[in-house]
Each structure stands twice: as C-alpha cells, then as structure tokens.
C-alpha cells in the first residue's frame, strides 16, 4: 500500500484565500509548467520558467493574451502567438526573454496564498505578482541597471484581431480609434499612466496601469502576423510602458508597480471614459 506521503505527492498544490477569493494551482499549458490563478473576474496562466502571463481570460473564458507559439518566431508571424504575453519585460540582453512566456530564463515560486515571485536565473532580475479578485499587481524588486526594461501588453483584444473593431483610451482621453500599424513602422507615442483596450461588440475592457507616472515614452500600435499588417487575419496589440521607437526599452528603476485587470463596461462615449477613469483611479490608490 502506498503511503499517505507518497499519495499526496501527486495532488496538485492549491492555495486558496477563501471560498470566494483567488486561488492558485499548478497546471500545464503549451507543454510548460504553469501556475493557474483563478479569480472572480479573470483566470491567469503564469509560465513558471518564462516568468510571464501566457493567458489572461475574462469571465466568459475569452483569452486576451493567448500566447501559443515560439517566443523566438520571426517577425511578423510571431504576432499570432509567440510574441504575445505580459509583461515581456527583458529584451536584447543575456537575460532576454525574462518575463516572457515560452522562454526559460526564470524560476518562479509561490510565496503565499496570492503571491508569485520570479527571479531570473542570472539573479539580475526579480519581480512579484500579487493577485486580487479585481486586478493583479506586479512589483519590480530587482532590475539590471545596465539593461533597461519595459512593461508590455501584447495580445488579441477581446480574443480577436481586427483593429477596425477595436478601441482604446488612456488617462489623456478616450475612447480612441486610431489604428497605427507597427508592420508599416507606425505607432503612437506619449506619456500615459494607464490605458484600456476594448472591442465594439464586447461590454468589457482590459486595463493596464503604472502606479507612479513618469516621463518616459509609452507606445501603442497594432501588429498583424503577415505583411498585410492591420488587414492580416491574426495579430495583436502592442502596448508598452517605457517603450520608445525601434523597440527601445527605457525603464531602469526598481520599485515600479503595474496593475492589470478587467472592467465590466464597454466604452462608447466620453461619459463611459469618465466612469472608467474613476474606477482606475480608485485601483491606483489601493
């Protein structure tokens, strides 16, 4: 007869705050070990070795990230799978790929019932995710001062790629309907503290925010997975805090805090945007 200890070794590790609170369990996705985080508003898949989110699914099971390919795919084909993720933090260094699903630059562990900490294998980088029912929070605890980083959201808004049916907004205004094509070298750059993304047929938006506003350039564009750009059948939005033209990362500070989550409202008017602004400002102060 197998011992109780032997039997328990095969039971997935599950941490739960409460019956209705977030829970974290071990699972696999794309053949890779993941943490699966269940909350009342979203389900997150966290790639342990990548140190990043490969899936962010809303309450209806729609995946707004959907990493599903080779992270080292060539451009632009990677826009339909391998380039996707959050925060895709480290780029163009020996630690390149840390914070990006699909890479093997990190180790990740559960710290408590709602917290995951990742560290690069080099020891140069460390960050912590804390999950709540209505948002998730990343804190950069250690950064290589010789290699700037960024915080990216790369994925299909509302699970599909059709820029003509998407919209976005920021703390500077919205909703906005510009559709810059990264395939054609186009982008919109500014200084934003937060942004949201939506689909005209979906009564829900996804938001990203930086806790402390800075003066670094932030970036918005769409990227199709073929030379057709925005007319391609698949692709992703490319939004980055601390990202300049030419895929240049700008952030160097430790202590930066970022939050992501869903709000259950479509944004069709300035009044809707004002409502979103109030909700996000409340989340910033928490």
- Find out whether the peptide bond into 76 is cis, omega within 30 degrees of 0: yes
- Find out whether the peptide bond into 87 is cis, omega within 30 degrees of 0: yes
CA distances from 187 to 37, 60, 246 (A): 33, 31, 10
pTM listed for this prediction: 0.92
How far is residue 17's CA from residue 99's CA, in Å, rounded to a whole number? 25
Q: Name the β-bridge partners of 156.
A: none
Q: Name the β-bridge partners of 224.
A: 235
- Find out whether the peptide bond into 175 is cis, omega within 30 degrees of 0: yes
Class of CATH domain 15-284: mainly beta
- Which tens digit of pLDDT belongs to each residue from 96-133? 999 999 999 999 999 999 999 999 999 999 999 999 99
Q: Name the β-bridge partners of 258.
A: 138, 210
22-42: average pLDDT:
97
Residue 191 has pLDDT above 70, yes or no: yes
The kind and range of the H/E element at 273 are helix 270-284
Q: What is the pLDDT of residue 11?
A: 39
268-286: average pLDDT:
97
235-252: average pLDDT:
98
Residue 138 has pLDDT above 90, yes or no: yes
Residue 15 has pLDDT above 70, yes or no: no
Residue 13 has pLDDT above 70, yes or no: no
Q: pLDDT band at residue 202, thresholds of 50, 70 and 90?
A: very high
- Which tens digit of pLDDT belongs to each residue from 85-100? 999 999 989 999 999 9
How far is residue 83's CA from residue 93's CA, in Å, rounded to a whole number? 17
Q: pLDDT band at residue 20, thresholds of 50, 70 and 90?
A: low
């Amino acid at each position: 007869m197998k011992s109780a200890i032997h039997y328990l070794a095969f039971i997935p590790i599950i941490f739960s705050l409460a019956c209705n609170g977030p829970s974290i369990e071990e699972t696999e996705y794309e053949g890779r070990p993941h943490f699966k985080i269940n909350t009342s508003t979203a389900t997150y898949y966290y790639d342990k070795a990548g140190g990043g989110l490969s899936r962010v699914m809303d309450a209806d099971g729609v995946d707004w990230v959907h990493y599903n390919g080779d992270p080292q795919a060539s451009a632009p084909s990677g826009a339909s799978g391998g380039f996707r993720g959050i925060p895709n933090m480290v780029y163009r260094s020996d630690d390149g790929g840390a914070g990006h699903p699909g890479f093997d630059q990190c180790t990740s562990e559960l710290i408590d019932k709602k917290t995951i900490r990742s560290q690069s294998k080099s020891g140069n980088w460390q960050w912590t995710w804390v999950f709540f029912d209505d948002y998730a929070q990343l804190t950069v605890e250690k950064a290589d001062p010789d290699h700037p980083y960024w915080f990216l959201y790369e994925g299909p808004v509302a699970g599909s790629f059709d820029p003509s049916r998407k919209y976005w907004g920021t703390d500077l205004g919205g909703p906005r309907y510009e559709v810059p094509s990264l395939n054609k070298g186009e982008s919109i750059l500014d200084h934003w503290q937060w942004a949201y993304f939506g689909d005209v047929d979906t009564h829900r938006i996804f938001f990203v925010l930086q806790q402390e506003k800075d003066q670094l350039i932030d970036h918005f564009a769409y990227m199709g997975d073929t030379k057709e750009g925005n007319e391609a059948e698949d692709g992703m939005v490319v939004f980055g805090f601390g990202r300049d033209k030419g895929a240049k990362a700008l952030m160097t500070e430790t202590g930066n805090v970022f939050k992501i989550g869903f709000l259950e409202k479509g944004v069709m008017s300035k009044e809707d945007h004002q409502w979103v602004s109030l909700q996000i400002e409340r989340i910033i102060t928490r």
